[in-house]
Structure 1
Amino acid sequence: MDSGLYIVATPIGNLGDLSPRALDVLRAADLIAAEDTRHSARLLQHFGVTTATVAYHEHSDERARERILEVLRGGGVVALVSDAGTPLISDPGYPLIRAAQAESIPVRPIPGPCAAIAALSAGGLPTDRFQFEGFLPAKAGARRGRLEALATQPATLVFYEAPHRVLETLAAMAETFGAQREAVLAREITKTFETVRRDSLGELHAWVAADSNQQRGEIVLLVAGCPPREQALDEATGALLKRLAEELPAKRAAAVVADITGLRKKLLYDFLLEEKQR
């Protein structure tokens, strides 16, 4: 196996989701850098992987990173794994990636499970554009402020949330985005009690409040993007448009007013056509 730092995705629940290639890397590696060695030990024992492990997480000091780099500098293979899913998606690790890149050490991704992508694939919300937000702030005020900053985003929003905070987060979302905004709760993905439910934020909050089982496990929340606001002509804009149309072709008049007001040119042009037919 070629030397380098391998970023290995591991199952988020069902152990059958570990890819053959990922298993080959874990077995062949000289060292596995794990977010929590005790957590990863269960996965490694299940597959009979005996590779040495070292803890590497957000609180690791320079010595832990240096130990990993020493193996890589010697032409070895190191596999980086998180507790579950794809490393570096709401997980620590990027300083190690940057350190390896700075020394021209190859960094090789081994794709696989990711809770955010799995939720998007099954959630039923638009996926042509999405914005990953990870975990919201734990404190209510900071959480509300972040949600307010996201309220007009047109892309589907993706959040991870702790089970003990999911109810208050849904309440804050309903208050900030509106209770009718469509959303998805995806819980325990690939596990025995997997749940994917799409509804309005208000209804989701009521459902989770009524069923304590939905306040357990690993949770992904998806929220539909802000719908485009309906544009309308006020009386003054309509009067201006009609006056300009007396001097200019309708398309040109619509373009001028669009530049002034920010309204869509088609909306203005259609208004003139309707006026002409009256």
Structure 2
Amino acid sequence: MEEKYIYRKYLRKPAKFFLFIEFMFIISYATVSLGLASRVKTTNSPTLWSIILGVGIGIIVLLSLEFLFIYLVMYRKFKKINVTLTEEGIVYNNIKGETRIPYENIQALKFPSIKYTGGWVKIIHINGNIRLTVVLENIGDMLTALKESLDKRNMSTVYNEKKMYSFFKTAKYSDNSWERIYENIKFFIVYIVLNLGVIAIFSRYFTTTPIYIFLVIGSILGPFIPYLISEIILGRKLAKGSFKNCFSAPERDKPFENKLYKWLFGIYMIIYCMLLIILK
């Protein structure tokens, strides 16, 4: 049975990713501007607000042009990249065309990966090689299917089982991690906006401008701390629950994930509120 694998959404449809970055910039810029303007005696000056608005629009235009350049140079090609595993071999499509690789023509699989953070599988065949990274959706499942097809043909010598298993865990973790990002991105945005809203409301109470700017930056970057801690914990949990002999990894435990998020983000919120009180 044929199975097709494509690149992740943020590479195939980067517009939402770009809009998210611009949205976060607008919110952050507006918060900083309102806070700083409230400290200036000429708050009602049309000139002040014209400068703030002009600078903001200028930065947004520059960001948009940069994103457009990145899309035309790099992201556009990801729409056409896909990998299909058939009964006979691998079908690899990219912007240059289609490459068919019979399993019998595969000479080696290389795994120059970085544990739990990324990496790729390099498939070396008679006519060249292709490289598949962890940004391929469900690459963990693809690797398992590829291994099974090679083993059926007694071709287990073309790969190092230990390195393949290590990359398999990285791939499965990457698949799960991106699923969590897609599921929780809206919550993350709301969380950051609420943080910035609190800072904007109480901006007059912070003693100095550097402290205010520090808190704004902390409000944006702070939520990433509990998120990263949760990902480390979930990555270790996946590694411990995986089995090398059958190349299997545990399915996501969503109740555990939700509980972990509640605890970590709850602790973060307590620390965040304490900082607001201390630095006020």
Structure with the larger helix share: 2
TM-score over 0.5 for the pair: no
Which structure has the bigger radius of gyration? 1
> TM-score, with normalisation over the residues of structure 1?
0.23
Structure with the larger strand share: 1
